[in-house]
Each structure stands twice: as C-alpha cells, then as structure tokens.
Chain A
Amino acid sequence: MALQDAHIMDGLDQLEAQSIFILREAYRKLKPMALLWSLGKDSNVMVWLARKAFMGHVPFPVMHVDTGKKFPEMYAFRDEYAKKWNLDLILGECPPVEEMDSSLPPAARSAARKTVGLANLIDKHKFRGVVAGIRRDEQATRAKERVFSPRGASHQWDVRNQPPEFWDQYATPYEEGMHVRVHPLLAWRELDIWRYIERENIPLVDLYFAKDGKRYRSLGDQDITSPIESQASTVAEVIAELETSRTSERAGRAMDHESEDAFERLRVAGYL
C-alpha cells in the first residue's frame, strides 16, 4: 500500500465512521443533548467515539443515572475517567423500588427505577437528545429500534408507529416536550465492541475480566446481575471466548428471563 493512498476501510472502520456521523448529526440537530454513561463497556466505547467525532472533546454533558446499587469498582472508574476525559458529568438519582409498578416481576421492577430516574433527569434539563449505547444484537426488542428514536412527552416508545429512517436521514422532534433517543451503536455487535476496545485500547472496569473462574459479561445493578463461568482475563481472551460462545450476552440479566414481555414493557415505558 502506497503511503499516499487512502486505505480500504475494514468493518470496524465502517462502524466507527457511521457512529461518528450519527453523533455529529445529533449534536447539530438536538440541542441540548446529553450522553448516557452507564460505565459499562458499550457506553465507554460511545464516549470514545464522541471524542473521535469532536477531536478529543465531549462537547455535551454525560449523564450517569445512579441506582445506588452499582459495584464499587464502577463508581471508582466513573470518578477517575470523568476527570481524565474531562467530562461534564451529571448525576441522577432513582426513586425507591416501592414506587415502581408492582405488577412487574421483581428484577424488572428494580430496573424500572432507572427509567424513572432518567425521565426525571431529561425533564429537569429539558434535553431534546439523549444518546444511549444500545445495540440491535443484545435483545430482540432492541433490534426494532431506529438510530433516532423519537419519544413522546411522557417518554414512551411508540414501537408500532416509528418514523421511516433511510439514507442517513433521521427524524428530529417536532412537538413540544418530545425528545429523541440517539443510538450510535445500534449496528455494532458484542464482538465488534470488544475488538474496538482492543484496537483503541479503551479502559474498562475490571469486573469484565475473570477472577476465580468468573467474570461479568454485562454489568447492571449488583443485585440483578450475575457473573458467568470464564477464564478470560484479558481483552484478547474475552474476544477468543466470544468467538466460540453461543449463549446470549444478557443471560446474566435477571429481568430478561422473568416473563416474555417484561423487557418489552420496560422499553415502551422508556427503559433502554
């Protein structure tokens, strides 16, 4: 390859370029806007992509909706990298579980706290754009999402009446009180995330890496997330493990297994 030639893009380059394009569209069209930082691997990749899009800066606030039940390692990580990456960090609290819909199964009811905490934060700051790191391959309901997903004034997701989205033209809000969920990672798969983490050397909470034969594949609240059996203690080993794995990423998330429609109900109400 001659040094002067533009290189051929590989799959990660293509995903990266598309995510940067989406973040730049959102920043231009949705003001004020904020990015949801759950401290997990996907949202770290998202913060990283924002820095790619804006030449090392994240020119909008980064929100952490705190259930108060995250792992201590995660809080330490948050405080360290909020400073290192010069993030404008906004913290949001969640109401107690007793205030949640009692018809939901226990784990989903606990997860619903985050939905309400997020809704309160969006209303308080009047955000018109909220960037979230969900992916299509995580869960069947998320596979139905748009890149720009409009939400009504009460934050609900109208699954059956989504706007058309093609040729990189995205819907922007058209009524008072609406906001748009922006999903720059929608097309990424779990393996893409890990390969990108490896390529870019993106820091992660070490709960993702095996200790005593167990590691977390997906990180939620302490009481509703469980680790998987694994010997993978480095990014490369995790990649090797995933290349042969056939179980679902969210297998360790209790609420996904409670009833057929629990996750769907959470998402319609505004859960990620």
Chain B
Amino acid sequence: MTQPHSSSTQVRHGVSTPIVIVGHVDHGKSTLIGRLLYDTDSLPDGRLVQIVESSRKRGLAVEWSFLLDSLQIERDQGVTVDSTRIPFQLNGRDFVIVDAPGHRQFLRNMITGAADAEAAVLVVDAAEGVREQTRRHAMLLRLIGISHVIVLLNKADSINFDEAKLKQVEGDIRQLLARLEIDVKQVIPASARDGDNIATRSERAEWYKGPTLLEALAQIQPPASRHALPLRMPVQDVYRFEGVRYVAGRIERGTVREGDRLVIGGQGQEATVAEVCRWHAPHEPVAGAGESIALRLEPDLVPDRGDLLFPAGDEAAAPLKAARLTTRLFWLRGEPLHVGESFRLRLATAEYDVTVAAIDAVVNLDDLTLSPADEVPPDGFAEITLAVARNILFDPFAPGMPDGRGVLVDRHQKIVGGAPLIGPAALADGAHAIHPTASGVSEAVRAGLRGHKRAVFWLTGLPGAGKSTIARHAEEALSHEGLNVTVLDGDTVRSGLCSDLGFSPEDRRENIRRVAHVARILAESGQIVLVALVSPLAQDRAMARAIIGEDWHEVFVDTAPELCRQRDPKGLYAQAEEGRIASFTGVSAAYEPPETPDVIVPGDGDVARSVRHLTDAVHKAVR
C-alpha cells in the first residue's frame, strides 16, 4: 500500500479531520462556515469572486453563506439542500467541514454528511437558545457516535455578550447534552458574522477565558488506533483470478498476519491465513485496520459475503451472538414504523432478514424523555427490538468505532433507518413489545410454577401429511402429564382469526404472520404451543421464526406426497387435480421442505410412533 520505508518526517498528506456543523435553522451555520474559510485563508480566488458577483446580481450585500449555496435551485429557495464538504487548513492540519442543513425534512442528508465526522460544532443562537432542531441534532450526534462536541453560542453580539444571559444559555445546553451522555468540550460565546471568538479573541467578551473556535478545533484528537483490538474482517467478496482464490475485504479493526488462525462467520469453520495479498505493493505479511486487502486461506475455503473473520481459539476475542437485538433507531422513512414490519438489516457487508419485534420506547424531542408508543414517527428516534431468523455475529456499537453500525433497508434496497446495535435483547423483556400489557411475571417464575419451560413447535408439511392429527394426539398426551399445551392448526385459525384471508401468497404470508404472533403470546404466557400449518415457503417460516424468537422449533412432518394424496382426508387433492382449487400446495403450488428442521417426524408410519417422536422432542425442550 504505502511505501513502507518512507521516512517518518514526511508530511502525512491527505489525512483530513472531518467536522460537522449542526444546529437549528437560521442559527448561523452557513455564515460560520463562510467566516471559517475566510479566517483560515481557505477561499480559492475564483470562488470568492463568484460569491461577490452572485450577491451583486441579486442586489445584496456580500453574504458569507452564499459560499455554500452553490446550487442555483438552492439559492432561489434560500436553503441549503444537501450536505457538502469544504476543506480548510489550520496550522498545516487539514480539516473538512461537513455542512448539514437545518430543515428537519432533510435529516437524511444531514446523516449522510455527519456520520463519519470526528467532531461536531453545535451552533446555537445566543438569544434564541435551545430549539427543536438543537435537540434533534444533538440526539443524532449521540446516535451516530460523535463524542467530541463544541458548542458555539452564535450571534452573541445581539445580546451584547451579556455574561449572565450567555451563562444561562450555556447551562441549558450543558444540561441537554448531559442527558444525552455527550461530553461538551467547550461552550464558546461568538459572533460568526463579525468574527468574535472565531479566529481572534473577542474584545466584547472579556469575561470569557476559554479558547476561540479555531483553538478549540486544533485540540481535536485524531481517532484512536484500532490495531490493538481483536481482528474483525467482514468478507466483502471472493474472487478467483488465474486459478487463485482471494477472500477480499476491509479490516475493520485489529490486524491480520500470515499464519494466523481465523474463524469464518457463524458456521465456525476455521482456516489459516496463507498470504496477505496486495497488488503493486511490496509484500508485507501483515495488514491492519482500515486496509482493503485480500487473503488466501488454507484450506482454500469459500466464505460467503458478510462472513466475519475473527481470531480462533480465544473466546474473549469473539463477537457476540444473538437472534434478537436491541437497537437505537433513527428512522428516515416518510411513513411511521410499526411492530411486525420486516426489513433487511445491513451490518458491514452482511445482510439479514429482520422483523421489528417490539418498539420499546420512543424519544420525545420536546424534553428527550422515553415513552412507550405503538409507532416511530418519520424522523423519529426510538429503542426497538429486532428479531433475526437465526443467530448473527456482531459487536455492539461504540462511538468512533466501525462496530455495530446497523442500517435498515426496505425491499427496494432503500435505506430507511440507522440501527446502531446496542446488544442482545432478552425475550421476556417485552414491556412495550408485541402485546403491550406484558405481565410482570417473569419467564423463570412461570417456568417454576408450571414445572416446565415454554416452547413453540411449528409443524410444517404437505396437506394431508398428518400435522393436525399428530399435534392433537401430542396435545392430549402432554396434557395428561400436566403440561400446559395449546394447538393452533390451520383450519381452526382460518375459521376465525384469519377468516378474512384467502390462499394467495400474500394472504398465506399474512396467515402465518398472525399465527406466529398468537403463538408468541401463548408461549410468553408459559405455554407449549404446537402449530400445525402447511406453511409451504421457507421465507414465510423464517418470518415466523423471527417473530417467535428463541422458543421456535421447526418440525418437518415428512410424509411421502403419494401417501398424502392417497389419504386426502378433506378431499382437497381430488378437487385440486380436477383444477377446482387454484394454487394447491403439492399439486399446483410449490412446497419447500425445511433444510435443517429441528425435528423430523415421519408421517407415514403409525400415528402413535409419530406422536412419540414429537413428544420426545417437546420433553427435551421444556424440562
């Protein structure tokens, strides 16, 4: 990559410190940026002339903010539409200003600019004080993990740099940021328009002894090295060129060296690094955080995109594993978010199907309190629980680190929210979950009372495979032993709960979704639930599993298709074959058998034997 032997005295070119400037609309962000560029002598001659001409054409005095409003359409509207990046130098150090707009409907543009900033300047009008967007932007700084925050009390000239008034605004803002666990570095009284306390010390605020803004910026520390941490390399792609297989990716933290033993993703396979590969660079046997490299592995395994590579043989160096995750959400879609919605969770290069299992709390932006709610409004912030179809590997989100940076995308691959992963979510922790009046009785207490644990056994199989029959017999047998069992079978739910649904793929999916939610409610009350549903599609069963969580056990009732047809207890195969039922599973619609069911119950022997198969599995799970 670099010339490894270049002397250390060489200037390190191109390392820029990105800083984001945020704050309520009209509190003076654009003016501040114009002033910063002017004070640091960073204006290219051409651009300065453009500003002056633009201002003149419009019959206006020179406005520093015109620098940023570089798009015609923006200038006509008088607002900054999108985030943009403006470089400047301070004592030989490169900075990049990320400008973020103040209009709330442009939250997504702001995130686009601000997400990789190392520090933030929060601009607050000294006379107006904390406003709605001040709180919103501060909240966002917390969620995207920016911990270095400088507060600029702008337009302090409008209150004559009055110490008492400024101290009061400072108190308000410090209180706000403390509640968000943001450490305020400095609070600077200033006037961006006149230049007070930007580059030069204000003569109008002699009581203020802190740094000017430029002095405060110079104190920003570069991000800590991520080399010393355990390796994380998410696989980005696998290539084969001229007979050699390359596992490509970027090292998110730690280092990797030839000879290292690595675990590959959730399957737990291990391999040794045979070579660290780069093109047109001197060979080095090691690579560190931030580098985009390729590895040759021994044995020559083929990982999937998204597989996390991490050190083998060290429990402490392994990522966390969970199928339910607590996240702090910032919601970017124009419509509210509801429980039960499904998305793809992107985490580095991995993607997972997830369902929103619970909205645990929504942030009220007027006072930053958390309260239960049924939905997350557009541009809202919330703590939510995501259910994944299987265990995933992850590291919790931490400011300044690449870990746990979850993003939700909809089925059109549009980003609809940021979801920093906080940690595994407990199942019983459902205070505002799918059934908002969840009991205070814990699962452990219930298990103690009942003498058994809860579980959902989801029986899938062809029509006529014997699912309902087996489930009913098992229910009877288990009840006699004193276990608390309920059966949810397809025909029963369709006669009531789901009587409005037909058999289109959408309706089938909805049917499964409802049954899954009911099964979960029953399970959380401590019951053992036996679901008997054809549920022909793997993706629909994955959804059910996501809703139900850890209690889920998949049971494949494995009966030969010919036997099902021959049994035909309801005469349905006969009708389907005559074409009187459209899209009948096993005849005119596909059945996808589970690839790795937890239990296989043979459906073509005698019923007692099949039932025993199921009850044995139930005993194992709930005792």
Contacts and interface: CB of A to CB of B under 8 A. Distances in A.
A236 B342 CA distance: 55
A144 B80 CA distance: 11
Interface string A165-180: 1111101111100000
B209 interface: no
Contacts of B280: 51-52, 56, 200
Contacts of A246: 44-45
B112 A165 contact: yes
A243 to B, nearest CB: 10
Given A28-B305, A143-B85, A171-B415, A11 B14 contact: yes
Interface stretch (B284-292, B442-450, B495-503, B567-575): B284-292
A93 B298 CA distance: 48
Nearest to A172: B413
B77 to A, nearest CB: 10
Interface stretch (B66-74, B530-538, B554-562): B66-74
Interface in A12-36: 12-18, 20-21, 24-25, 27-28
A167 B417 CA distance: 12
A136 B85 contact: yes
A247 interface: yes
A192 B14 contact: yes
A195 B15 CA distance: 13
Interface string B253-292: 0010100000000000000000001111000111111111
B81 A159 contact: yes
Contact of B112 (A51, A146, A195): A146
Nearest to B112: A165
A24 B288 CA distance: 19
Interface residues of A, number: 66
A28 B235 CA distance: 12
Given A11-B12, A13-B2, A247-B44, A56 B279 contact: yes
B248 A24 contact: yes
A191 B13 contact: yes
A126 to B, nearest CB: 18
Interface string A129-140: 000000011001
Given A14-B15, A159-B71, A260-B72, A28 B277 contact: no
Contact of B407 (A9, A17, A141, A167): A167
A165 B114 CA distance: 10
Nearest to B406: A167
Contacts of B71: 140-141, 144, 159, 264
Which of A17, A137, A171 has the most chain B CB atoms closer than 10 A to its own CB? Answer: A17
A6 B72 contact: no
Residue among A27, A169, A251, A264 with the most chain B CB within 10 A?
A169
Contacts of B86: 143
B227 interface: yes
Contacts of A146: 112
Contacts of B277: 55
A159 B73 contact: yes
Contact of B414 (A25, A171, A192, A260): A171
A257 B294 CA distance: 45
Contacts of B85: 136, 143, 187
Interface in A38-63: 51-57, 59
Contact of B116 (A144, A166, A191): A166
A83 interface: no
Interface in B2-32: 2-4, 12-16
Interface of B: 1-4, 12-16, 44-47, 54, 70-73, 81-82, 84-87, 94, 108-109, 111-112, 114-116, 144, 225, 227, 236-237, 239, 241, 244, 246, 248, 250, 255, 257, 277-280, 284-292, 294, 305, 332, 346, 348, 402, 405, 407, 409, 412-415, 418
5 contacts: A4-B257, A13-B2, A21-B250, A159-B73, A247-B45
Given A51-B280, A57-B241, 12 more contacts: A5-B286, A10-B15, A12-B13, A24-B237, A27-B237, A28-B236, A160-B81, A162-B112, A169-B409, A174-B414, A247-B46, A251-B46
